[in-house]
């Protein structure tokens, strides 16, 4: 395993901050950019001698000895990608006043490879010193929560929130509370832990529509990715009365101008969250995968991969607002180009932070396994934060990301150890 130092130079996020305030970006130049921490606390690289897979851990910030952030697996995963994601996690935890720092894990390996679970187990074994005492992880792209928990169980760590649970006054009781919350059943046959993040994204979209005075029934949405996050966001938007006209998976884009039957569509997904095209209704049009970005919709939700919206395709976006359900879904350059056209981007560290915020509310005993309690709290928080982001954009020309960064740069202080009941 290699501990890496920062090689120097700017990151995409630094470029984004440099762009803030320049003419034509839609940012008020009179508002100075917030100070950003660009250097992570720690970088680790792991090399799998069996398969050649490479894994990374980046801890961007450590607060009270803890950091939180999921673990992803995809072919082509890079250190810079994991570093960007860890920075985003630090923004999430600070923005939502959570008493921990931000981190991220990533493995450069195909999650569909039959050896993927073995690779994951060796990676977590290598990262065990951090998992045991400092790093709380969870599912991410290519790594479902149940597989993480199975691997943790084999390693004798019980559950992926282990580093926090072990600090509790009664670790067994806390672990049981976490398990009950994650596995609480909700309407639609889902589990609360699987859908809470998408529920938060859905209400970010609803709050954005409210900010411009549009009712759900008159609002259209396009969603790139219908896995755990995108699929649950689509479900709750559909339930709220919004018209989800376009969705995309790895096989392409599906479109229906009158609105897709989202619950029926989700039932057609396979284990890789791809829709069975042979069972689609006749009124569903099949389009190229990239077509989702140019869909005629009020709201675009990139919920699949990082860096989905780039300078090359940003002018294809026709939506009124972009809501990032995927981490780092929009490159800084593309976001500046969208802002210049009057299209705000609700940043991932607010829009998709519902899952991490809820997980820590659960750990701290502030919510339990009653879904309505969790939904009510997250809905209230999301509507409040998005309303403030959109007000700053419409009234002052300050991008939602810049407003969010100001929140993240002034987190609630952590003056002692995190107390977990």
Q: How far is CA 241 from CA 220, 275, 378, in A?
A: 10, 22, 19
Judge contact between 32 and 48, C-beta under 8 A: no
Half-sphere exposure of 404 (CA within 13 A, CB side): 29
Tokens of 408: 């993240």
Mark whether 104 is an active-site residue.
Answer: yes
Q: Which position has the token pair 């490479």?
A: 54
Query: Measured between alpha carbons, how far is 233 from 227 in angstroms, rounded to an integer?
Result: 9
Tokens of 155: 């390693």
Half-sphere exposure of 17 (CA within 13 A, CB side): 15
Query: Measured between alpha carbons, how far is 415 from 315 in angstroms, rounded to an integer?
Result: 46
Tokens of 308: 């989905």
The residues, ordered by sequence, that sit 6+ positions from 368 with a Cβ below 8 Å of its Cβ are 177, 180, 181, 362
Query: Measured between alpha carbons, how far is 221 from 233 in angstroms, rounded to an integer?
Result: 10
Nearest Cα neighbor of 5 from 76, 67, 79 is: 79
Q: Strand pairing of 71-74 and 101-108?
A: parallel
Half-sphere exposure of 371 (CA within 13 A, CB side): 17
Judge contact between 309 and 288, C-beta under 8 A: no
Catalytic residue among 92, 104, 243, 385: 104
Q: Is the dihedral of CA 16, 17, 22, 28 positive or negative?
A: positive
The residues, ordered by sequence, that sit 6+ positions from 397 with a Cβ below 8 Å of its Cβ are 26, 27, 28
Judge contact between 295 and 287, C-beta under 8 A: no
Nearest Cα neighbor of 421 from 363, 367, 358 is: 363
SS3 for 182-233 is HCCEECCCEEHHHHHHHHHHHHHHHHHHHHCCCCHHHCEEEEECCCHHHHHH
Q: Active-site residues: which are they?
A: 104
């Amino acid at each position: 395993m290699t501990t890496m130092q920062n090689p120097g130079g700017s990151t995409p996020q630094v470029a984004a901050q440099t762009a803030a305030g320049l003419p034509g970006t839609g940012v008020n130049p009179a508002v100075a950019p917030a100070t950003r921490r660009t250097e992570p606390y720690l970088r680790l690289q792991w090399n799998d001698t069996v398969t050649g897979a490479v894994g990374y851990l980046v801890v961007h910030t450590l607060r009270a000895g803890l950091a939180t952030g999921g673990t992803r697996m995809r072919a082509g995963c890079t250190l810079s990608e994991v570093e960007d994601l860890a920075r985003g996690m630090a923004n999430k935890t600070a923005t939502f006043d959570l008493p921990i720092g931000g981190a991220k894990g990533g493995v450069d390996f195909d999650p569909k490879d039959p050896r993927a679970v073995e690779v994951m187990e060796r990676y977590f074994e290598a990262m065990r010193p951090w998992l045991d005492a400092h790093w709380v992880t969870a599912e991410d792209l290519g790594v479902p929560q149940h597989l993480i928990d199975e691997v943790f169980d084999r390693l004798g760590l019980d559950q992926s929130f282990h580093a926090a649970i072990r600090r509790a006054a009664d670790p067994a009781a806390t672990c049981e509370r976490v398990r009950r919350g994650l596995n609480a059943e909700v309407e639609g046959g889902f589990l609360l832990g699987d859908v809470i993040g998408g529920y938060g994204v859905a209400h970010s979209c609803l709050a954005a529509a409210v900010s411009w005075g549009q009712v759900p029934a008159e609002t259209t949405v396009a969603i790139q990715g219908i896995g755990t996050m995108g699929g649950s966001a689509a479900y709750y938007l559909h339930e709220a009365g919004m018209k989800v006209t376009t969705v995309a998976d790895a096989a392409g884009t599906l479109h229906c101008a009158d609105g897709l039957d989202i619950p029926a569509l989700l039932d057609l997904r396979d284990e890789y969250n791809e829709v069975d095209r042979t069972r689609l209704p006749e009124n569903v049009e099949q389009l190229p995968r990239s077509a989702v970005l140019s869909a005629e919709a009020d709201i675009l939700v990139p919920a699949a991969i990082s860096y989905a919206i780039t300078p090359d395709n940003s002018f294809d976006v026709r939506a009124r607002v972009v809501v990032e359900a995927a981490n780092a879904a929009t490159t800084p350059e593309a976001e500046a180009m969208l802002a210049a056209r009057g299209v705000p981007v609700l940043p991932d560290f607010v829009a998709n932070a519902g899952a991490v915020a809820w997980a820590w509310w659960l750990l701290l005993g502030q919510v339990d396994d009653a879904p309505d309690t969790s939904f009510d709290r997250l809905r209230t928080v999301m509507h409040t934060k998005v309303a403030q982001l959109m007000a700053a954009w419409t009234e002052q020309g300050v991008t939602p990301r810049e407003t969010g960064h100001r929140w993240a740069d002034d987190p609630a202080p952590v003056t002692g150890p995190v107390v977990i009941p």
